[in-house]
Structure 1
Amino acid sequence: MLDLRPNCECCDRDLSPESPDAMICTFECTFCADCVTGVLGGACPNCGGDFTRRPVRPAALLAKYPASTKRVLKAEGCGPAKAA
């Protein structure tokens, strides 16, 4: 089950569980759509993978399966993924 992390790892913008602007990679790294397109160039700075829109968990299931409250933020800042 997805964590539904509460913020963008790049700019720390709040991303509610129903946010249409939350983007994730296959490792669930979470960024806002603005950072994905404007800062990261569509590639995850952690794994180099691409992004997709994070699914929205139905409100009725959030009580039973709540979103994560653990904020993740790249301490060194973020920028485009580096070639391996």
Structure 2
Amino acid sequence: MALEMRSDCERCTTGVDAGGVAWICSYECTFCDECAAAMQRVCPNCGGELVRRPRRVAR
């Protein structure tokens, strides 16, 4: 099962490209670096820990 690589922050709608920094929870909620820091790396949807999303390398 692969991660769903979302392209926008769910809080501020800023684009997060596949090669850039983004933060996700175990439900794949996606946030930009600034929003994740503002939320102290806790997902507002589920209360789970936000971890850095793996980068996807262009093929």
Same fold (TM over 0.5): yes
Deviations 1:25-65 (A, max 9, x none): 11100001110111x122100100011111012211xxxxx
Unaligned runs of 5+ in 1: 61-84
| Corresponding position of 2:33 | 33
Larger Rg: 1
Whole-Å Cα distance in 2 between the matches of residues 42 and 15 of structure 1? 16
Whole-Å Cα distance in 2 between the matches of residues 52 and 42 of structure 1? 7
Whole-Å Cα distance in 2 between the matches of residues 16 and 42 of structure 1? 19
Whole-Å Cα distance in 2 between the matches of residues 33 and 56 of structure 1? 13
Question: In the comparison of the two structures, how many residue pairs are matched?
Answer: 58
| Corresponding position of 1:72 | none
Runs of 4+ more than 4 Å apart: none
| Corresponding position of 1:24 | 24
TM-score, with length taken from structure 2: 0.90
SS of aligned partner of 1:35 = helix
| Corresponding position of 1:8 | 9
RMSD over aligned Cα, in angstroms?
A: 0.9
